Every structure is written in structure tokens, then in C-alpha cells.
Amino acid sequence: MRWQWQRLRYLLKRVTSSVTQRGFKGTLSRIAQELHSRPATDPIWKLEPLNAVLPCSMPRSDAPRVSVIIPIHGKLPYTLACLRSIARHNAAAALEVIVVDDASPDDSADVLSRIDGVRLLRNATNLGYIGSCNAGAGIARGEFLLFLNNDTQVTQGWLDELLACFVEEEGCGIAGSRLAYPDGRLQEAGGIVYANGEAWTYGRFEKRDDPRFLYRRDVDYVSGASLMITAELFQAIGGFDSRYAPAYCEDMDLAFAARAAGRRVIYQPTSLVVHCEGISSGLDPFAGVKRYQSINHTKFVEKWRDALTRQPRPKLPVEQAIQRQGMRHILIVDALTPEPSRDSGSLRLINIMRLLHELNWRITFMANNRRATGAEIALLGRIGVHVLCKPSSLPLPSWLSRHGAGLDAVMLCRHYVAEHYLPLVRRRAPRAKVIFDTVDLHFLREQRAAEHTGNESLARQAKRSRRHELALMRACDASLVVSPVEYQLLRDELPEVDVELLSNVHEVYGRRGDFGDRHGLVFVGGFGHPPNVDAVHWLVEEIVPRIQRERSDIVLHLIGDIPPTARESLARPGVQIHGRVEDLTPWMEGCRVALAPLRYGAGVKGKINMAMSHGLPVVATPVAAEGMHLVDGENVLLAEDAQTFAAAVLRLYADERLWLGLSDASLENIRQYFSFETARGTLKRLLA
């Protein structure tokens, strides 16, 4: 009964500020969820029991990159469970575990001193949470400090994913985890601090896997329950401020100090930590250490009075307050959620999103079918993209009714997607710049397919597509094409329209693997794209037999989505069909020649870009090489018919000097025309 009364007092204490932040309905929802009876733990969790035996040893390094600092005051079973979870989910990064015993009233220190790998620091007197954290940091040897509550249990990748923020996000000073309750509900997805100094933990009691909480972003603060900071920054800002001793508000203060020093505070959803909130200090805000929550709030407001004037106003809805002020917001809509192993268009769009994230844009994405897998959501979340999808998000018309007025730009990808949504976007996002991303000119591809096959019906379809695509370009504020050939075609056809060239975007991986260590040929392309179907059949039926008459040892590797019936027709000696693969690297680094035998199509060919970014020389047809700044004999070998194509492959396969020359020139081509730097300049100009 006493426990229920404490919970009720705690909840009633929060009602006033909660009504201010979320409104009365949101407050009642939180109270109802908290008082609702739930299982103690989510059935899918594999949490460490509190009565298990000691771990035999902890991970330990003499030269740690990360120092994990765990302050404790009693509660030994929770500390042991926390340590066992760290041992079970060992990190890739070298680490040390420092446990700071803050004069525990139980036998914690004696028990922990017997655990191999734990660096135990005993405080002579009780210093409180802040004093213990600072003491642990004082003996830490790592480049990074990771403060972790002893009433937590970590999950796979928790530490390495926090570390990734410092590698992938320029200016990152602090990174924090997604916190969940043992019963499975979300506890925190980054914190909000309002202009009056009141704090709000975003997402509390919501579903932990809702896409709203699964994308990396800058936040006001992250909880000290799992917080990583560079040791250099921690020392420079003086550690946790002792004015907040023994505890509370110190994590908010640290975040404000980091941001005052010009560093970013980042929420990392892929670092998931289970936190048994209230074990260390209780939940009653009027008793024990917890009473300092109110006392320290006053100190925090006094210290950061000027900075708080730049924080969200108290009545601003949470969904708006969580977004960093000053960021522009873009909505991107494509046919499908991008998946880089599926097609080159996906890779291009993902890399465009990466650049937008670097340029400080807030990015929201929706696929036309509103579907996205967990892996796709995680991939986009890693580059700061909020994915709208079933069943968690509203349909686009409803979403635009709520958020359209705040959009600065909308990118509609592919003509049939743009045609469907353009009128809606114009009505509900009136101040947004609307960009039509053609991906490639659909009508040009259809026109060339009709010419290749002599199909009159397809020729009529190409004319209809042309009318639709050109009309869309006139109706949008700007259009994107991937090829200089398409760019010039549109400049001639529509001189009044704003057209920008934004081609494929690739990292330059460089050449790995010597000529003599490489074997075989590789073609990358799925059967969802008609030009690939024609190319594979031409390759297997007419080109490969000519190659194998001269060199029967040369094997062709086919990579991409190929249906079972097509596999049967393509199967023959010397042809290996791998289907779609997650990582092309083994073939990019192990094969000797890449092939692009396309006989029609449009746009820029990602299969060529990908090979060249690895320094893998390419034999292609002129139509495949179109618009890619490629010159026969300098950075590619070109051939139009089966006989000359096979001859070019055999020549390149046997000539190491030619191979090295083309390899070097291929890498330079990617650097000059298809790099992130080139695309970044286009995006800056487009969205200025």
C-alpha cells in the first residue's frame, strides 16, 4: 500500500508540469499507463536474474578505448546483473569496467573485489552519485567515458553503437542510449528542456520500437543512466558540477555545458539499455535523494538562465519541442523504402539522405506503400531519418495535415509517385520547395526499349510517359536527373524549367586485391529492371560462350534478384547465380572484370559506379556507359556486339598493365564526378 501511495504522490507531483507540456489528455494517459498492472519483465527480454552466481570475469584491456564507470551504493544483486550483461554482450571496442563503491551499506565491495577484470574504487565516505562519477573518471584510462547506472542491463551493441556517434557525427560530444523499462515499454528517447527549465523524457511509456524513437538525432540532453562522453571534454568542462550533489540535474547540466562548448548531444536508438528506474534513489520526489530533483532544478535554472531563453516555450507540443531549433525539414517520398542491396537507386537515395543529414536537415521519409522492415528503419535511422510506415504512422494526407505547414522542402521520387502526390503537397505544404527526382527519365528508357524490340505499344507508352514527366517538371519547383545526357535533353526541351544534375553518389573504396589474385567476371543487376533481364540473357547466351571457347576457366558470377524460373534457363557450366547479397565487397575485391552489357536504358548505371569505386575495371556497352564521362581505352572498354564484347573481356582479363591503368582511371572518375563532395555542392545550391 505504501508503494502505491508513493507512486500516486509522484504522479500527482508531475501533473502540473505535465499538463503544461502535453495537455490534460496526455497527462491522464501517462497516469493510467503507470498504474496499469503489467508483467515485471517483457517476455522477449533475456535479462540477467538477480539471484544468479557471479560472472567468472569481465572484459578488460590495458589500453582501453572506453572506460565504463558504474557508481554504486548497495543493491548488490542489481550490480552483479549489470556486470553479467556487460560480460555477455561484450563490446568490440577495448574497454575497462570501473565500479565506484560509494560506502555501500552491504557487502558489495567485498564481493566485487573478487570479480576478475573489475577495477574497484572504494570511497572512504559517501560522496553521492556526482562525487562517485567524478572519482571514477579521475582514474579512467579510456579516451571515452561511459557512465552507467548499476540498475541497468545492456543489450548487444550498446557500447559500440554509442561509440559510432563520435565516428559518424561531426562535433559529437555526448551520446546517450535508448532506455527501456524491464516490462518492455520505452523509458526515454532523449530529453527535452523547456525555457522554464522543466525537463521531459521523450517517449516515456510508449512502444520502444515505434519508428518515432528509432532515428539518431540531436537532443537537449540524455540520461546519465547510460551516457558516453569524451574524456577530454569531460575534463574541459569540469566533470559533473558538484553544486548538484548528491544527484539530479547533473546530466542535463553536463549536456548544456557540452553544447556551450560547441559540441553536440546525440540520442542513439541502436544502443538499447534496460533500466530499472528508481532502484538507486526511489521514486518518491519528497524523500531521500529524490528530493534533490526539485532543489537542483532551481540551481539549474539559475546557472543556465541565458541558455534557457533559446529553449522551446513550455506550451510547445512535445513532437515539435524534440526537434532542434533552426533545422529545416524535408519530406522524401519514393515508391519503396530504399534498400541498398536491391538496386542502385536505393543506394543513391540513401547517400543523398546522408548528405542532407550532414547539412543539418531534419529528414522524414515515406514509401508509397507505407512499408518498411525493421532493418530498413534501422539503416535510415542511423543517418537521422524518421520513417513513416504502417502501422505506427498516419497516411500521408493526414500526416501532411498536421505537419505540412512546417515543411521547407518535399522531394517526390519517380514520376508516378510525384504525379500522385503533387496536388496534395501543394495544398498542405504551401511554403515547401517541391523537387521532382526523376531517378532516370522513364520515357527515355521506354523509348529506347521500344526501338530495341520494335514494340509499337511500348513506343506509344513512351510518348504518354514523356507528356506526364515533362508536365511534372513544369509543375514542380526543381527537377533532378542523374545523367548529363538527360540534363542536356531537358535543357533543350524545357529551357524555362529548373533542372539540376544529381547523379549517383559513391564512396571511393579503393583497390584491394592484386591482378593475379583475382578470378572471374561479375554482373550486378536484378530482374526487377527490364534492361537487366535483356542484358543477362544476352550475356549468358551469346557473350559467355565466346569467352569460354578461349578460356574455359573463367567463371561468370550473377548477383541480383533473379526469379527461380529465370535461374533455370540461365544455369549452365561456368555461370554461378548468387541472387541478392547484402555485401558486394567479396566480388568487387575478388573478381577481375565487371560487366555491363546493357543494350537499352537510361540514367547512370550504378553497377558501373560500384565496380569503379572499388577500382574494378569494367567492360560495357556504349549505352551502359552513357553520361558517365567514360572514354574507351582510358577508363573503360566499350563494345557493342557480342563478338567484340567477348574479345574486350578476354583482352582485359589477360593484360595486367591495361587492367591497372583502367583501375586507376576508374577510381579517379568516381572521385571527380560521383563523389559525396560533388553531390554536396548540388544539394547546397538546390536547397539554398
Candidates 598, 619, 605; CA nearest to 662 is 619
CA-to-CA distance for 126 and 174, rounded, in angstroms?
27
Q: Is pLDDT above 80 for 32? A: no
Bridge partners (DSSP) of residue 437 are 413, 480
Average confidence (pLDDT) over 117-142: 95
Q: Model confidence over 517-533: pLDDT tens digits?
A: 999 999 999 888 889 99
Residue 685 falls within a domain, yes or no? no
Q: 274 and 128 share a domain?
A: yes
Q: 560 and 603 share a domain?
A: yes
Domain boundary among 270, 293, 321: 321
Q: 492 and 593 share a domain?
A: no
Bridge partners (DSSP) of residue 176 are 227, 267
CA-to-CA distance for 659 and 670, rounded, in angstroms?
17
Average confidence (pLDDT) over 294-312: 92
333, 413 in Cβ contact below 8 A?
yes
Q: Model confidence over 88-124: pLDDT tens digits?
A: 999 999 999 999 999 999 999 999 999 999 999 999 9
Residue 317 falls within a domain, yes or no? yes
Selected residue with higher pLDDT from 17 and 376: 376
Q: 306 and 334 share a domain?
A: no
What ranges in 304-373 are assigned the alpha helix state H?
305-308, 318-321, 344-358
Percent of the chain residues past pLDDT 90, beyond the cut: 74
Q: 65 and 191 share a domain?
A: yes
Domain boundary among 472, 501, 530: 501
Q: 307 and 345 share a domain?
A: no
Residue 339 falls within a domain, yes or no? yes
Q: Model confidence over 210-265: pLDDT tens digits?
A: 999 999 999 999 999 999 999 999 999 999 999 988 778 999 999 999 999 999 99
Residue 51 falls within a domain, yes or no? no
Q: 241 and 341 share a domain?
A: no
In one letter, which amino acid is 557? H
Q: 24 and 116 share a domain?
A: no
If phi > 0 it is left, if psi is from -120 to 50 it is alpha, else beta; for residue 454 that is: left
Q: 155 and 303 share a domain?
A: yes
Q: 215 and 340 share a domain?
A: no
Candidates 339, 137, 329, 114; CA nearest to 233 is 137
Residue 13 falls within a domain, yes or no? yes
**pLDDT-derived band of residue 15, with 50, 70 and 90 as boundaries?**
very low
Q: Model confidence over 484-494: pLDDT tens digits?
A: 988 999 999 99
CATH number at residue 206: 3.90.550.10
**pLDDT-derived band of residue 36, with 50, 70 and 90 as boundaries?**
low
CATH number at residue 539: 3.40.50.2000
**Most confident region among 6-10, 276-280, 461-465 by mean pLDDT:** 461-465
Number of domains in the chain: 4
pTM of the model: 0.85
- Per the structure, the complete domain to which residue 77 belongs is given by 58-278+285-321
Q: 474 and 531 share a domain?
A: no
Candidates 418, 470, 421, 411; CA nearest to 443 is 470
Residue 47 falls within a domain, yes or no? no
Residue 104 falls within a domain, yes or no? yes
Q: Model confidence over 494-511: pLDDT tens digits?
A: 999 999 999 989 999 999
Residue 567 falls within a domain, yes or no? yes
Q: 391 and 301 share a domain?
A: no
In one letter, which amino acid is 368? N
Per-residue three-class SS string for 563-620: CHHHHHHHCCCCEEEEECCCCCHHHHHHCCEEEECCCCCCCCCHHHHHHHHCCCCEEE
